[in-house]
Amino acid sequence: MKNVAGKKILITGAAMGMGKLYAELAVAEGAEAVVLWDINEAALETTVAELTAAGGSVTAYTVDVSDRTQIEKAAAQVRSDIGDPDIVFNNAGVVRGNAYFWETDNTRDTEFTMKINSLAPMFIAREFLPGMIASGNESRLINVASAAGLTANPRMASYCGSKWATVGWSDSVRLELEQAGHKQVKVTTVCPYYISTGMFEGAKSAPLLPILKPNDVVDEVWKQMKKGTPFVVLPKTVLLSEAFKGILPTGVRDFVAGRVLGVYKTMDDFTGRK
């Protein structure tokens, strides 16, 4: 895929932050339709106005993706309004942190995190993949996970769990599409370290793991999405955790990550977006 000109694109968590940046790129490349989902109606209206002024054909839906019924209703409305999207960005996400797991609340923290970070991407993909497959057109499914989906970290157990689920599910869907012969539909799983959007306010960098800039991440993901790259891991040094898991005893790995690199302390001062 050289560009997204003429494509229909749906982005969740699109009213601000990374989602808005993806939408701006879609408009700039001449997407036929850009569909924005977000729970923040006021921010959606502002973003739609800005993107429309930039020449985009933009439609917005106020959707709480933690609610499967709302996902199903909004998906049906999208199909009715513009047809099935060619590209879906499962970008919406939440993080709860700075507490040990046994100190967290089952509903406010664990259940809420799993609904948005794990279940919502699955339900949304289930709504739109049949149309992508049936169209025969070059299509993309982008699932934003996290570096926390590749390695454990204290004070964010539910978040790590939700992103591990997303990574395993997303790459399994990629394999299923290939196995079933639907190679025109490519799946990209995105695993970035902390990004300076406000969502991870207070989280710290570590040696070899700098806090990432939103535009840098969006530009790289966008480029790799068009190529159909299966995994986008940022920075590449995150992959060291995968290597360590394969070759180092757990105690040694914990010593390197926790004591030498300080990774296990990066969430100690986390506050998140206010």
**Angstrom distance (rounded) from CA 127 to CA 79:** 10
Res 245 pLDDT > 90: no
Residue carrying structure tokens 């977000």: 38
Q: What is the CA radius of gyration of the chain?
A: 18
Residue 79 CA, distance from chain mean position: 22
**Angstrom distance (rounded) from CA 93 to CA 118:** 9
Res 229 pLDDT > 90: yes
Tell me the pLDDT tens digit for each residue of 60-85. Answer: 999 999 999 999 999 999 999 999 99
Tell me the pLDDT tens digit for each residue of 16-46. Answer: 999 999 999 999 999 999 999 999 999 999 9
Q: Which of 22, 61, 100, 159 is catalytic?
A: 159
- pLDDT for res 274: 62
Tell me the pLDDT tens digit for each residue of 89-145. Answer: 999 999 987 799 999 999 999 999 999 999 999 999 999 999 999 999 999 999 999
In the residue annotation, 159 being an active-site residue is answered as: yes
The beta strand positions in 154-222, using DSSP E, are 185-192
Q: What percent of the chain lies above the pLDDT cut of 90?
A: 91
Task: Enter the pTM of the model.
Answer: 0.95
- Domains of the chain, first to last: 8-265 (3.40.50.720)
